[in-house]
C-alpha cells in the first residue's frame, strides 16, 4: 500500500528514483510524484494516474544528487494531482513523502491553520510538512526538526523528508509502516520494500518502529525518536533481482502461479528430514514448550485468513486441540477470550499487515506465545513475534497472492504434523503417510498446473458470467473461498462462496441461466452430498465447472466442465493440489475480460493501514 523510494549519490537521481518506484507498482497506487534538486532549488512534480504519466511529465528533466519518489493509494482525499505526494509546506521549505495514516491529522491541521499555515491538499500527510517546517528555525539540524515534529503525531508512518537548505541529506523515520535503507559505495537508497532495491544493492538496513535515519551519499546515521543513537546491522538479501522480474511471462501472477512447485519445495527444504522426521531449526522451543499448548489461535486477513482456515482443519484433525481463526480486523473488537497456554499464529505474506500487527500486540500483552508465519525477512511481524517461520516463497509481486498462500499451507501442514508427533495424537502410520505426501507435494502441484490448457479453454467458455458460486464441503469449502477471492480480486466477477450445504438456506435463489458454479471435490466422503448440491444448480439452469480427483466417477457425469487433479492419500493436503486450478481459472478469466491483473483496481499488496 503506497510506495516510497529514494536515491542519494552521483548517478541520475530521477532515473533511479523512478526505476525503483516502478518495482513497487505491485503494491497498488493511484498517483505518483517525485521531489528532486533542480539547479539550486527543490522541485516537486506529481500526477494522478500511473507512473507513466509522471514519466511523461518529467521528459527531459535531469537531476543528480538526490531524489525521493512516491506512489499513493488514496485514503484522505480523492486521487488527483494536489493530493499526490510529495507534499510541501506553503514556502517549499521541505518535501515529504509518507506511507500510513496520521490519525490526529484533523486536530493538527486545525492547530496549524490557527497559526497561519495554508494547505493545498486534502491529505493527512501535508500536516507533516508544515509541522517540520515550523520546527526548523527552532532546531540545530533538520533531523532534530523531524524528530520534534513527530512527537505530536499519532498513527502509522514511513516518511522521507528533503530540505531546501540541506541538499546533502534525506531524513527518514518509521512507525508501523515498513522502510528499508539500501547501502552502496558513495551512494545510498531508500525504499518501502526490498524488491525495489535488488538491482542496485543487496545490503539493507531494516528500520524498526521509532527509528529515524539521516542518509547522505557516504553515511547512514540512526537514532531513536527520543534522540538516543542506535545501530542496526545490515542484512544481506539473497533474492536475485531476476526473481522479482516477469521472466518472459505476460504477468507476474501467472509467473508466480507456475512457481508454486519450487516455492513449496523451498518451504519444505531443511524442515523435512530424509529419515521422515520434521524439524524447525529456526525455532528455540523445547519439547515441553510444544506440549503445553492446549489451544491454538490463528489471526490473519484475506488470503492468509483462508490459509488459516486450512490450518484449523489440519491442526484440529491431527493435534486434537481447539483452533480458532479470527479476521485480524475483527480480533480487537470482538472481545476475544484470552486464555493461558495458547499458541497464537499470525499469518501475513508481507509481515506488515496493520490489523494483524495490532492483534499480535494485544496477544503479547496477554502473555501468549506468538509465532509469525510470514514471507518477508525482517518484517514487523517477524520481529515482534516470539518465534517466526518463514514461508520461503521468494518475492511475490502480483497483488493477488498465489504462491504465498500455498507456502503458508505447507508451513501449517508441517507444523500440524510436527505437533501431532510431539503430542502423540496421530498413529505412526498416519504421520508417516503425511510426511510422504508432503515430500511428493511439489511434483503433485506441478501435475495440477499441467491442466492449464484445459482451464484456459473453460475460461474462454465462461468468462462472461455475471455471477460465480464457489462451492465445496469440508476442507474443499475453504479452498473454494480462496478461489472466489481470486476471481473477485483480478476479474471483478461477483461471487458467492457459502459451504455447499448452505445453498438451500438462501443463496440458491441467485442461480439462473448464465450463472456458473465452481465445485471443488477432493474428499470421497462428501461426494454424494456434493452431488445433490450440483444437481440443485443444474436444475435451475446454472453451469457447473467441477474440479475433482482422477478417481471420481460420480460427479463428472453431471458437470458441464471438469478438470481432474491428482488424488492425495491424505485429503488434509489436497488444497495444495486443487488451488492451482482455481488460480489459473481466475487468471484466464481476468485476461479475457481485459483486466489489469497484477495491479487490480482499489487494492494494494501490503495493507499497512487499518
Shared-domain flag, residues 339 and 469: no
Q: Among positive and negative, which fits the CA dihedral 454, 456, 460, 464? A: positive
In a domain, 603, yes or no: no
In a domain, 124, yes or no: yes
Shared-domain flag, residues 112 and 178: yes
Question: CA torsion 91→94→99→100, rounded to 10°?
Answer: -70
Task: Give the list of residues 6+ apart from residue 185 with CB closer than 8 angstroms, or none.
Answer: none
In a domain, 576, yes or no: yes
Cβ atoms of 329 and 610 within 8 Å: the answer is yes
Q: How confident is the model at residue 609 (pLDDT cuts 50, 70, 90)?
A: very low
Residues with catalytic roles:
2, 605
Cα–Cα distance between 292 and 601 in angstroms, integer?
Answer: 45
**Is it true that the peptide bond before 86 is cis, omega within 30 degrees of 0?**
yes
Q: How confident is the model at residue 242 (pLDDT cuts 50, 70, 90)?
A: low
Task: Give the list of residues 6+ apart from residue 332 with CB closer than 8 angstroms, or none.
Answer: 358, 359, 362
Shared-domain flag, residues 427 and 484: no
Cβ atoms of 172 and 223 within 8 Å: the answer is no
Q: What is the pLDDT of residues 361-420, one digit of tens each?
A: 999 988 899 999 998 877 889 889 999 999 988 888 899 999 999 999 999 999 999 999
Shared-domain flag, residues 375 and 417: yes
Q: How confident is the model at residue 604 (pLDDT cuts 50, 70, 90)?
A: low
Cα–Cα distance between 252 and 264 in angstroms, integer?
Answer: 18
- DSSP tag of 138: G
Can you list the alpha helix ranges (DSSP code H) found in 552-599? 575-592
pLDDT at 607: 56
| Three cell numbers written together for 44 | 516537486
In a domain, 113, yes or no: yes
pLDDT above 80 (res 589): yes
Q: Among positive and negative, which fits the CA dihedral 377, 379, 385, 390? A: negative
Q: How confident is the model at residue 240 (pLDDT cuts 50, 70, 90)?
A: low
Mean pLDDT within 166-186: 93
Q: What is the pLDDT of residues 317-361, one digit of tens each?
A: 999 989 999 999 998 787 777 777 889 999 999 888 889 999 999
Would strands 180-183 and 203-206 be described as parallel, antiparallel, or unpaired? antiparallel
- The number of beta carbons lying within 10 Å of the beta carbon of residue 61 is 12
| SS percent in the chain: helix, strand, coil, step 5 | 40, 25, 35
| Angle, CA of 172, 177 and 180, to the nearest 5° | 50
Cα–Cα distance between 463 and 601 in angstroms, integer?
Answer: 18
Shared-domain flag, residues 59 and 169: yes
Shared-domain flag, residues 312 and 341: yes
pLDDT at 569: 77
Shared-domain flag, residues 178 and 307: no
Alpha-carbon distance values, 176 to 155, 300, 301, 521 (Å): 8, 17, 17, 41
Cβ atoms of 213 and 29 within 8 Å: the answer is no
How many Cα neighbours within 13 Å face the side chain of 378?
Answer: 20
pTM greater than the 0.85 cutoff: no
What does the radius of gyration of the chain's CA atoms come to, in whole angstroms?
Answer: 25
Task: Give the list of residues 6+ apart from residue 610 with CB closer than 8 angstroms, or none.
Answer: 101, 329, 354, 355, 358
Report the SS3 class of residue 51: helix
Last residue of a domain, one of 448, 470, 498: 448
Q: What is the pLDDT of residues 12-33, one digit of tens each?
A: 999 998 999 988 876 667 789 9
Tell me the residue range of the domain where 527 lies.
450-598
| Angle, CA of 473, 474 and 477, to the nearest 5° | 55
pLDDT at 103: 85
Shared-domain flag, residues 289 and 371: yes
What is the domain count for the chain? Answer: 3
In a domain, 604, yes or no: no
Cβ atoms of 301 and 308 within 8 Å: the answer is no
Cα–Cα distance between 429 and 416 in angstroms, integer?
Answer: 15
Cβ atoms of 278 and 412 within 8 Å: the answer is no
Mean pLDDT within 247-276: 87
- Alpha-carbon 48 to chain mean position: 24
Last residue of a domain, one of 448, 480, 514: 448
Cβ atoms of 357 and 208 within 8 Å: the answer is no
The residue count for the chain: 610
Shared-domain flag, residues 229 and 370: no
Alpha-carbon distance values, 468 to 252, 330, 521 (Å): 24, 27, 17
b/e per residue 197-232 (b: at least 16 CB within 10 A): bbbbbbebbbbbbebbbbbbbeebebbebeeeeeeb
Comparing 470-474, 574-578, 604-608, the range with the smallest average pLDDT is 604-608
Cα–Cα distance between 35 and 45 in angstroms, integer?
Answer: 7
In a domain, 605, yes or no: no
| Axis crossing angle, helix 452-462 with helix 575-592, rounded to the nearest 10 | 50
Last residue of a domain, one of 448, 469, 493: 448
| Axis crossing angle, helix 142-150 with helix 126-135, rounded to the nearest 10 | 120
Cα–Cα distance between 106 and 502 in angstroms, integer?
Answer: 46
Cα–Cα distance between 309 and 341 in angstroms, integer?
Answer: 21
In a domain, 607, yes or no: no
Shared-domain flag, residues 537 and 418: no
Cα–Cα distance between 324 and 447 in angstroms, integer?
Answer: 33
- The number of beta carbons lying within 10 Å of the beta carbon of residue 18 is 20
The CATH number given to whatever domain includes residue 183 is 3.60.20.10
pLDDT above 90 (res 565): yes
Can you list the alpha helix ranges (DSSP code H) found in 497-558? 527-539
pLDDT above 90 (res 228): yes
Can you list the alpha helix ranges (DSSP code H) found in 424-554? 428-449, 452-462, 475-491, 527-539
| Three cell numbers written together for 107 | 486536530
Shared-domain flag, residues 108 and 237: yes
Cβ atoms of 195 and 23 within 8 Å: the answer is yes
How many Cα neighbours within 13 Å face the side chain of 193?
Answer: 31
In a domain, 169, yes or no: yes
Q: What is the pLDDT of residues 43-58, one digit of tens each?
A: 999 999 889 899 899 8
- DSSP tag of 231: -
Comparing 211-225, 237-251, 550-564, the range with the smallest average pLDDT is 237-251
Cβ atoms of 315 and 412 within 8 Å: the answer is yes
Q: Considering only CA atoms, which of 600, 597, 530, 596 is closest in space to residue 559?
A: 530
**Phi (first) and psi of residue 65, to 5 degrees:** 110, -65
The CATH number given to whatever domain includes residue 563 is 3.40.50.10490
Q: What percent of the chain has pLDDT over 90?
A: 71
Would strands 220-224 and 561-565 be described as parallel, antiparallel, or unpaired? unpaired
Average per-residue pLDDT in the chain? 91
Shared-domain flag, residues 187 and 47: yes
pLDDT at 363: 92
Cβ atoms of 476 and 526 within 8 Å: the answer is yes
Amino acid at each position: 500500500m503506497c510506495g516510497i523510494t529514494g536515491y542519494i549519490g552521483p548517478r541520475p537521481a530521477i532515473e533511479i528514483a523512478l526505476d525503483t518506484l516502478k518495482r513497487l507498482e505491485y503494491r497498488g497506487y493511484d498517483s505518483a510524484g517525485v521531489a528532486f534538486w533542480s539547479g539550486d532549488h527543490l522541485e516537486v512534480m506529481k500526477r494522478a494516474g500511473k507512473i507513466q504519466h509522471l514519466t511523461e511529465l518529467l521528459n527531459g528533466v535531469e537531476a543528480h544528487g538526490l531524489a525521493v519518489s512516491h506512489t499513493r493509494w488514496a485514503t484522505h482525499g480523492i486521487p488527483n494531482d494536489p493530493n499526490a505526494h510529495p507534499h510541501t509546506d506553503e514556502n517549499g521549505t521541505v518535501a515529504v513523502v509518507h506511507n500510513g495514516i496520521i490519525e490526529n491529522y484533523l486536530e493538527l491541521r486545525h492547530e496549524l491553520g490557527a497559526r497561519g499555515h495554508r494547505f493545498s491538499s486534502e491529505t493527512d500527510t501535508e500536516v507533516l510538512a508544515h509541522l517540520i517546517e515550523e520546527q526548523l528555525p527552532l532546531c540545530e539540524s533538520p533531523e532534530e526538526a523531524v524528530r520534534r515534529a513527530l512527537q505530536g503525531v499519532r498513527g502509522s508512518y514511513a516518511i522521507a523528508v528533503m530540505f531546501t537548505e540541506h541538499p546533502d541529506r534525506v531524513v527518514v523515520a518509521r512507525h508501523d509502516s515498513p522502510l528499508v535503507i539500501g547501502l552502496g559505495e558513495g551512494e545510498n537508497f531508500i525504499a518501502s520494500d526490498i524488491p525495489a532495491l535488488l538491482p542496485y544493492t543487496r545490503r539493507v538496513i531494516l528500520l524498526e518502529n521509532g527509528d529515524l535515519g539521516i542518509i547522505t551519499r557516504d553515511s547512514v546515521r540512526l537514532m531513536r525518536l527520543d534522540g538516543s543513537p542506535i545501530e542496526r546491522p545490515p542484512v544481506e538479501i539473497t533474492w536475485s533481482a531476476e526473481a522479482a522480474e516477469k521472466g518472459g511471462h505476460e504477468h507476474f501472477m501467472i509467473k508466480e502461479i507456475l512457481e508454486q512447485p519450487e516455492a513449496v519445495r523451498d518451504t519444505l527444504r531443511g524442515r523435512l528430514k530424509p529419515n521422515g522426521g520434521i524439524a524447525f531449526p529456526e525455532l528455540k522451543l523445547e519439547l515441553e514448550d510444544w506440549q503445553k499448548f492446549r489451544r491454538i489461535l490463528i489471526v490473519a486477513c484475506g488470503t492468509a485468513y483462508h490459509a488459516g482456515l486450512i490450518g484449523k482443519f489440519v491442526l484440529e484433525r491431527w493435534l486434537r486441540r481447539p483452533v480458532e481463526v479470527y479476521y485480524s480486523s475483527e480480533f480487537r473488537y470482538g472481545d476475544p477470550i484470552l486464555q493461558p497456554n495458547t499458541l497464537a499464529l499470525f499469518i501475513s505474506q508481507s509481515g506488515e499487515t496493520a490489523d494483524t500487527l495490532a492483534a499480535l500486540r494485544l496477544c503479547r500483552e496477554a502473555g501468549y506465545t506468538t509465532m509469525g508465519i510470514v514471507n518477508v525477512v525482517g518484517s514487523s511481524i517477524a520481529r515482534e513475534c516470539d518465534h517466526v517461520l518463514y514461508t520461503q516463497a521468494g518475492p511475490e509481486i502480483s497483488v493477488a497472492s498465489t504462491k504465498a498462500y500455498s507456502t503458508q499451507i505447507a508451513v501449517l501442514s508441517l507444523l500440524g504434523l510436527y505437533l501431532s508427533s510431539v503430542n502423540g495424537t496421530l498413529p505412526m502410520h498416519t504421520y508417516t503417510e503425511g510426511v510422504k505426501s508432503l515430500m511428493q507435494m511439489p511434483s503433485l502441484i506441478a501435475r495440477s498446473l499441467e491442466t492449464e490448457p484445459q482451464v484456459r479453454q473453460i475460461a474462454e467458455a465462461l468468462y462472461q458470467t455475471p455471477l460465480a458460486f464457489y462451492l465445496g464441503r469440508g476442507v474443499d469449502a475453504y479452498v473454494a473461498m480462496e478461489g472466489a477471492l481470486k476471481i473477485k480480486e483480478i476479474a471483478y466477477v461477483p461471487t458467492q462462496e457459502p459451504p455447499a450445504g448452505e445453498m438451500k438456506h438462501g443463496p440458491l435463489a441467485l442461480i439462473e441461466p448464465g450463472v456458473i458454479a465452481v465445485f471443488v471435490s477432493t474428499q470421497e466422503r462428501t461426494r454424494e452430498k456434493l452431488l445433490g448440491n450440483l444437481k440443485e444448480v443444474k436444475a435451475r439452469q446454472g453451469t457447473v465447472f467441477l474440479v475433482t480427483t482422477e478417481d471420481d466417477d460420480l460427479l463428472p457425469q453431471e458437470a458441464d466442465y471438469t478438470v481432474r487433479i491428482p488424488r492425495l492419500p491424505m485429503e488434509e493436503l489436497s488444497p495444495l493440489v486443487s488451488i492451482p486450478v482455481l488460480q489459473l481459472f481466475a487468471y484466464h478469466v481476468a485476461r479475457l475480460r481485459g483486466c489489469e491483473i497484477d495491479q487490480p483496481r482499489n487494492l494494494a499488496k501490503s495493507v499497512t493501514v487499518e
